[in-house]
Amino acid sequence: MAADEVKTASELADEARHTAHDAVLAAQGYAHEGQRIGQEAAQSLRATLADAKETGSEALDTVRGLTNDARDLASDAVRFGRSSAHDVVSAVGERARQLGERVQLSKEACAGYIADQPVRSTLIAIASGAAAMTLMLHFLQGRRGH
C-alpha cells in the first residue's frame, strides 16, 4: 500500500463488510453444494441399500428353496432305500424258501434211494468218504511242504 492511499476507518469498515459478505456468500455456496452432494449420496445409498436388501431377500429365498429341495431328495432317498431293502429281503426270503424246498426234495430222493438200494448206498457213502479223506490229506500235506 502506498502512503498516499490511506483509508479511513469508514472505508476499512466498508471493505471488511464486503469481505465478510463475500465470505458469507461463499460459505453459503459451499454449504448448499455440500447439502446437494449429501442428498445425492443419501439417494445413492438408499438405492444401494434397497438393492442389497433385495439381493439378500433373493439369496434367502434361494437358500430356502435349496433346503427344501435337499429335504425332498433326502426323503426320496430314504423311501427308495427302504423300498429297495424290502425288495432285497423279499427276494432273499424267496430264494431261501426255494433252496429249502430243493434241499427237502433232495433229502427225500436220497432217503428213497437208500431205502431201495441199501447196499449200493452204503458202498457209495464209503467211497465218497474215502475220496474226501484222500483230498483232505493231500491238501494238508501240501501245506506242510510249503
For 90-137, the pLDDT digits (tens) are 898 999 999 999 989 888 888 888 888 888 888 888 888 888 899 999
Taking a C-beta distance cutoff of 8 angstroms, is the pair 113, 121 a contact? Answer: yes
- What is the structure's pLDDT at 2? 54
- What is the structure's pLDDT at 95? 92
Q: Using CA atoms of 123, 124, 126, 131 in order, give the dihedral in degrees to the nearest 10.
A: 140
- The structural domains of the chain, with segments of one domain joined by +, span 13-145
Distance CA 63, CA 57 (A): 10
For 13-46, the pLDDT digits (tens) are 889 999 999 999 988 988 898 898 888 888 888 8
Give the type of residue at 71. R
For 40-53, the pLDDT digits (tens) are 888 888 878 888 88
Distance CA 7, CA 22 (A): 20
